[in-house]
């Protein structure tokens, strides 16, 4: 088991939950499934006072099951990066009013279908999704033994931090990313998604 810095325990337990790493269907089935989930989510939100605008339904990946007892960090990271890109990008009526969004989520948590709820939670604009990707990279680089792969990933990490890394800093008690307008968040996450694609290619030895 690889060591985690102090304070990462809660995040690690959440990201490693078994439901996140069960094998899924082939990519064509996933793509169709995402479209159906997006339609159902949009209908549910509209009917419950929070209409959403879906910008991206999420990529289609066949996620592999990870051994949660003795995980390989490289393989785990690959699946986390794919899981990130599998999530949708959408905006809602709350914009930066996170307290009202949490209140709404609490009100509907027993009304929404469980599969649609998981799809909703996986949204890429979520501040936790952004910070998880940024936080995972240093751990992965520290663990890697392959020097060529490490050099490639270091360059990509530097690209990420140059593009968006400062947004994980805090300002007035909040992550700077969380204070951005929706249009800017979409721009940031679209750029981050392209870079995460590069990470996946390196980990799969495709580049």
pLDDT tens digit sequence for 65-111: 666 566 688 888 888 899 899 999 999 999 888 899 999 999 999 99
The whole-angstrom separation of Cα 79 and Cα 85 is: 10
pLDDT tens digit sequence for 98-152: 899 999 999 999 999 999 999 999 999 988 888 888 888 888 888 888 889 899 9
Burial of 132 (0-12, 13-18, 19+ CB in 10 A): middle
Q: How confident is the model at residue 207 (pLDDT cuts 50, 70, 90)?
A: low
Q: In 3D, which of 99, 116, 129 has the Cα closest to residue 33?
A: 116
Bridge pairing between strands 89-91 and 170-171: unpaired
Reported pTM: 0.81
Q: Where are the domains of the chain?
A: 9-203
**How many Cα neighbours within 13 Å face the side chain of 77?**
26
């Amino acid at each position: 088991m690889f060591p985690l810095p102090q304070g990462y325990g809660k995040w690690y337990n959440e990201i490693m939950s078994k439901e996140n790493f069960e094998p899924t269907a082939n990519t064509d089935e996933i793509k169709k499934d995402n479209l159906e989930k997006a339609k159902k989510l949009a209908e549910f939100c509209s009917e419950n006072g929070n209409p959403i605008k879906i910008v991206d339904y999420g990529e289609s990946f066949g996620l592999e099951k990870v051994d949660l007892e003795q995980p390989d960090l490289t393989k785990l990271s690959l699946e986390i990066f794919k899981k990130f890109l599998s999530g949708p990008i959408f905006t809602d009526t709350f914009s930066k009013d996170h307290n009202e969004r949490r209140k709404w989520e609490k009100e509907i948590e027993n009304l929404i279908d469980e599969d649609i709820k998981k799809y909703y939670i996986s949204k890429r604009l979520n501040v936790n999704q952004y910070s998880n990707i940024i936080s995972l990279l240093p751990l992965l680089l520290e663990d890697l033994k392959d020097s060529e792969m490490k050099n490639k990933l270091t360059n990509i990490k530097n690209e990420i931090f140059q593009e968006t890394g400062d947004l994980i800093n805090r300002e007035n008690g909040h992550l700077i990313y969380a204070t951005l307008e929706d249009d800017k968040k979409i721009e940031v996450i679209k750029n981050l998604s392209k870079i995460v694609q590069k990470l996946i290619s390196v980990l799969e030895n495709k580049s």
